[in-house]
């Protein structure tokens, strides 16, 4: 199946609407917003991984110039409800400020509000806190043990979630398979670390009794959590979505920041702003990502056909939980990747430690799991002396098998993995790469070729919520769009989210333009606010092309239908006698007699007497709330669940050389072939794919939040937490393939996460191909230069 539908604007190169304001310096980020009389917050944080708070003395700080108030944990906890937990752990109670104990280095203890940020910081330095240090745990395996100090004493132990899922005849499949392999893989603690830190402004309206919030946010149920924690009705919380978010990729979830400033704004009747500085962001921002250890076993035959998979995942979620444990749930949606694996055992455990908490990161837990899966395939190939391409081709789901249901219950909508892999092979010019690698090796270089594939589920119904927490019966995650055509025929759409680089204004304008056959540049797309918005669930989970695209198409099609009705009536003919074309309703066969959209809009708004008899509503507007395709059902008792409707696919090929002495990895050549169905905007899609891969390269080679045995974070600055620059990311080439989704408005699927899902596995594959002649391997991310240098030195 390929896409041959004629399009006007979809899939056509067009300049994204958003970019004009960004290149001129006219973006409006949260730190660019100043409210009259606004106060600023600075934080006093814990220097200990675990301690009792004995005494807090704010007397000197309170006397500093400009200080308005100093807030400690007990007052805030008394006035608010605990922050939401993903899984059912009532003993885990998190408040923005520590109450009687601290649980990680960097945890907020005291907040100072002052006339300027500098004044607040000056005073924060003078707050005196006495602590009594307590036992703590840093290692997640240790944290599992019964003798480990519990991070949350009311919970009793550190195990927040633990379940073994079995899908299919795992024991039988292992018994009958002639070969088995078992190994460990480690995914290090990294995150997406946007260049903009999290920031929020809250302002309580004494007149309207509304809490206005401007934030750098990308989080579902944000206003709901604000209302719940601050104990105010939801219709008194107004989050403004017209704030540009300076990168997120999952992590911008400053709920504790928002509860803190929301409380202060109400208490002081003044606008309050909290913009994290970089250290606050790295240590206390709840922004670390997955930190996972895998035990993997695969059972396979002599041809390399994998019959069964056992996956044990231990996730270190740190001291603050939030939605973090759900990141063990999303991988269930594609637990076998692109492969026809018959049965799976998945043992998922989330454990708390005395570290900064974990939050959502691009792919929501999928990228670590994909590394485990892809390393299994590589190992099977190496064990049987088969090529890694061959083993993948033998195990791929065949193009004719779609829709294809995997053992854990989800049905993949469409795909053609063999073709995409062939495109990656051709784009990378694999024969030349192999020759290059072998020539380099002959000269004494350490060189390798990496290959990885990945599935990218998109547009989900958040079914991991009921899967991991049966008290949560979520079975839909809608998205909405409202369109109004004004009296002059101009089109304005409103959407229920802020954007952090995904180009939603472009997406919506392109799709409405396609449906109404009008220039997308003439369509206004506004980010609304939570009180005027229709239901929405924010741009997570590669869902917006599918869900917001579907909502925009749905609303536009309703407008189009109405336009045709009014047009036909005013042309004096029936609906079957007209066509809609380029913003006009044209009467077929009457010498091109037509009526324009502008004229129809005027009729709709002003000339009720010219409306068709059945139309009793003036104006020209429509809303559409898009239901998740394939959504609406709860998981079965064995955990099988339809989690996502659409499945994109990508194959990465990379050539790497490792410096023998320093262990430094250079990615010399990088190709990606991918299939995300119908592309809406080619430049946006290309950027998402390459950018995601760059981010994955960072996780693979450089980025890690490192803790020492004393529970101190050692990489809290950009000097220690190393992110790839233009030197480290090669000129990544991209080839596209289009297998449309049968479930979406234009055949589109998700694309925001695939690059990040494929790159870490591909880089690990390349590094281990390079290490292979030396008889060593490294299955620990990040693949630090020092580790690789040590391995090579030992091997020689």
For residue 77, give the 3-state DSSP assignment: helix
Kindly write out the interface string for residues 501-540 of this chain, putting x where it contacts another protein by CB under 8 A and - elsewhere.
xxx-------------------------------------
Q: Which two tokens stand for residue 463?
A: 């079914």
Q: How far is the CB of 580 from another protein (least distance, A)?
A: 31
725 touches another protein (CB under 8 A): yes
Among 206, 442, 443, 726, binds another protein (CB under 8 A): 726
Among 486, 519, 668, 683, binds another protein (CB under 8 A): 683
Among 290, 368, 687, 758, binds another protein (CB under 8 A): 687
Per CB under 8 A, contacts with another protein among 174-193 are 192-193
Among 217, 690, 700, 738, binds another protein (CB under 8 A): 690
Residue 383, CA distances (Å) to 156, 391, 450, 662 in order: 44, 11, 17, 29
Cβ neighbourhood burial of 54 (10 Å; 0-12, 13-18, 19+): exposed
Q: Which stretch binds another protein (CB under 8 A): 438-446, 499-507, 563-571, 628-636?
A: 499-507
**Cα gap 750→540, rounded to integer Å:** 10
Among 160, 239, 555, 693, binds another protein (CB under 8 A): 693
766 touches another protein (CB under 8 A): no
Nearer to another protein, 278 or 557 (CB): 278
714 touches another protein (CB under 8 A): no
**Cα gap 449→655, rounded to integer Å:** 5
684 touches another protein (CB under 8 A): yes
Nearer to another protein, 442 or 719 (CB): 719
Q: Which stretch binds another protein (CB under 8 A): 344-352, 509-517, 519-527, 688-696?
A: 688-696
Q: What are phi and psi of 129, to 5 degrees?
A: -125, 130
H or E stretch covering 699:
helix 682-701
Nearer to another protein, 368 or 755 (CB): 755
Nearer to another protein, 634 or 723 (CB): 723
Q: Which stretch binds another protein (CB under 8 A): 156-164, 476-484, 684-692, 742-750?
A: 684-692
Per CB under 8 A, contacts with another protein among 118-157 are 118
Among 1, 7, 20, 171, binds another protein (CB under 8 A): 20
Q: Which stretch binds another protein (CB under 8 A): 27-35, 61-69, 104-112, 761-769?
A: 27-35
19 touches another protein (CB under 8 A): yes
Among 1, 2, 5, 21, binds another protein (CB under 8 A): 21
Among 1, 5, 26, 208, binds another protein (CB under 8 A): 26
Q: Output the furthest CA–CA distance in the chain (Å, rounded).
A: 90
Residue 493, CA distances (Å) to 132, 600, 745 in order: 56, 18, 17
Per CB under 8 A, contacts with another protein among 63-122 are 118
Is the bond preceding residue 782 a cis peptide, omega within 30 degrees? yes
Q: How far is the CB of 704 from another protein (least distance, A)?
A: 16
Q: Which two tokens stand for residue 95?
A: 């408040």
* Number of neighbouring beta carbons within 10 Å of residue 319: 26
Q: Which stretch binds another protein (CB under 8 A): 11-19, 169-177, 380-388, 534-542?
A: 11-19
DSSP string, 507-545: HHHHHHHHHHTS-GGG-EEEE-BTTT--S---S-TT-HH
Q: Which two tokens stand for residue 652?
A: 């990465």
Kindly write out the interface string for residues 274-293 of this chain, putting x where it contacts another protein by CB under 8 A and - elsewhere.
---xx---------------
Q: Beginning with the edge strand found earlier in the chain, give each strand of the sheet holding 306-316 in spatial order.
A: 159-167, 343-351, 306-316, 292-300, 179-187
* Number of neighbouring beta carbons within 10 Å of residue 84: 15
Structural contact between residues 673 and 427, judged by C-beta atoms closer than 8 angstroms: yes
Residues linked to residue 516 through DSSP beta bridges, in sequence order = none
* Number of neighbouring beta carbons within 10 Å of residue 203: 23
Per CB under 8 A, contacts with another protein among 202-261 are 244-249
Per CB under 8 A, contacts with another protein among 393-452 are none
Nearer to another protein, 154 or 521 (CB): 521
**Cα gap 264→269, rounded to integer Å:** 8
Residue 574, CA distances (Å) to 577, 583, 718 in order: 5, 18, 67
268 touches another protein (CB under 8 A): no
27-31 contact pairs (CB < 8 A, 24+) = 27/244, 28/242, 28/243, 28/244, 29/196, 29/199, 29/216, 29/243, 29/244, 29/245, 29/246, 30/199, 30/200, 30/201, 30/214, 30/215, 30/216, 30/243, 30/275, 31/196, 31/199, 31/275
Q: Kindly state the number of chain residues that form the binding site for another protein, as judged by CB under 8 A.
A: 55
Among 446, 688, 738, 757, binds another protein (CB under 8 A): 688
Rounded to 10 degrees, what is the CA torsion of 467, 473, 476, 478?
Answer: -120
Among 140, 194, 450, 760, binds another protein (CB under 8 A): 194
Nearer to another protein, 442 or 726 (CB): 726
- Report the interface residues with another protein, using CB under 8 A: 15-16, 18-27, 29, 31-32, 118, 192-196, 244-249, 277-278, 500-503, 683-684, 686-688, 690-695, 717-719, 723, 725-727, 729, 731-732, 755
């Amino acid at each position: 199946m390929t896409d041959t539908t004629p399009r006007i604007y979809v899939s056509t190169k067009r300049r994204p609407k958003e970019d004009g304001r960004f290149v001129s310096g006219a973006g409006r980020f949260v730190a660019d917003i100043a409210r009259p009389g606004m106060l600023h917050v600075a934080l006093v944080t814990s220097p200990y991984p675990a301690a009792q708070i004995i005494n807090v003395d704010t007397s000197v700080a309170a006397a500093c110039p400009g200080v308005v108030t100093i807030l400690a944990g007990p007052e805030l906890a008394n006035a608010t409800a605990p922050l939401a937990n993903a899984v059912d752990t009532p003993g885990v109670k998190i408040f923005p400020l520590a109450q009687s104990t601290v649980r990680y280095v960097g945890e907020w203890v005291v907040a100072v509000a002052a006339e300027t940020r500098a004044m607040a910081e000056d005073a924060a330095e003078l707050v005196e806190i006495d602590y009594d240090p307590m036992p703590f745990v840093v290692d997640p395996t240790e944290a599992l043990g019964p003798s480990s100090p519990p991070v949350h004493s009311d919970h009793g132990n550190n195990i927040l979630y633990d379940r073994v899922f079995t899908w299919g005849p795992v024991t039988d499949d292992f018994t009958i398979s002639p070969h088995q392999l078992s190994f460990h893989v480690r995914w290090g603690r990294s995150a997406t670390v946007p260049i903009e830190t999290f920031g929020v402004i809250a302002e309580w309206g004494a007149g309207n009794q509304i809490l206005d919030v401007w934030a750098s946010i990308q989080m579902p149920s944000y206003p709901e959590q604000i209302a719940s924690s601050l104990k105010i009705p939801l219709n008194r919380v107004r989050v403004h979505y017209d704030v540009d978010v300076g990168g997120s990729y999952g992590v911008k979830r400053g709920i504790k920041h928002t509860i803190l400033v929301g409380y202060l704004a109400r208490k002081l009747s003044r606008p309050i702003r909290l913009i994290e500085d970089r250290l606050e962001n790295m240590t206390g921002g709840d922004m670390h990502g997955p930190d996972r250890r895998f035990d993997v076993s695969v059972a396979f035959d002599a041809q390399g056909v994998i019959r069964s998979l056992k996956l044990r995942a231990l996730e270190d979620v740190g001291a603050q939980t939030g939605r973090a444990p759900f990141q063990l749930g999303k991988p269930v949606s594609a637990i076998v990747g692109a492969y026809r694996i018959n049965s799976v055992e998945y043992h998922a455990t989330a454990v708390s430690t005395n570290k900064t908490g974990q939050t959502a990161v691009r792919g929501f837990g999928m990228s670590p799991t994909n590394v485990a899966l892809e390393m299994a395939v590589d190992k099977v190939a190496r064990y049987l002396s088969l090529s890694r391409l061959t083993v993948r081709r033998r195990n791929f789901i065949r193009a004719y098998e779609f829709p294809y249901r995997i053992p854990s219950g989800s049905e993949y909508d469409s795909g053609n993995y063999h073709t995409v892999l062939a495109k990656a092979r051709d784009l990378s010019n694999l024969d030349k790469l192999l020759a290059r690698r072998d020539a380099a090796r002959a000269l004494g270089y350490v060189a390798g070729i990496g290959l990885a594939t990945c599935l990218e589920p998109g547009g989900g119904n958040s079914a991991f919520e009921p899967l991991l927490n049966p008290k949560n019966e979520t079975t839909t995650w809608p998205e909405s769009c409202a369109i109004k055509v004004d009296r002059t025929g101009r089109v304005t759409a409103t959407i229920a989210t802020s954007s952090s680089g995904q180009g939603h204004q472009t997406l919506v304008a392109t799709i409405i333009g396609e449906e109404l056959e009008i220039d997308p540049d003439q369509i206004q797309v506004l980010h609304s606010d939570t009180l005027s918005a229709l239901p929405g669930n924010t741009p997570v989970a590669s869902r917006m092309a599918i869900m917001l695209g579907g909502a925009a198409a749905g609303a536009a099609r309703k407008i189009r239908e109405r336009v045709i009705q009014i047009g036909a009536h005013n042309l004096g003919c029936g609906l079957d006698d007209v066509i809609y074309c380029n913003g006009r309703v044209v009467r077929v066969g009457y010498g091109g007699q037509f009526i324009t959209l502008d004229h129809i809009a005027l009729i709709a708004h002003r000339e009720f007497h010219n409306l068709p008899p059945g139309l009793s509503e003036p104006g020209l507007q429509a809303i559409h709330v898009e239901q998740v395709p394939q959504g609406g059902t709860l998981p079965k008792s064995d955990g099988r669940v339809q989690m996502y409707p659409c499945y994109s696919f990508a194959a990465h090929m990379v050539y790497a050389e490792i410096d023998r002495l320093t262990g430094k990895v250079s990615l010399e050549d990088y190709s990606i072939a991918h299939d995300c169905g119908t592309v809406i905007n080619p430049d946006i899609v290309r950027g998402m794919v390459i950018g995601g891969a760059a981010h994955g390269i960072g996780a693979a080679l450089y980025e890690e939040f490192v803790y020492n045995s004393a529970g101190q974070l050692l990489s809290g600055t950009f000097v220690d937490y190393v992110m790839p620059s233009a030197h480290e990311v090669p000129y990544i080439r991209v080839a596209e393939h289009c297998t449309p989704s049968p479930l979406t408005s234009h055949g589109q699927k998700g694309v925001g996460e695939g690059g990040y899902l494929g790159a870490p596995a591909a880089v690990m594959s390349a590094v281990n191909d390079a290490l292979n002649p030396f008889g060593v391997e490294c299955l620990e991310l990040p693949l630090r230069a020092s580790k690789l240098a040590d391995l090579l030195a030992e091997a020689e």
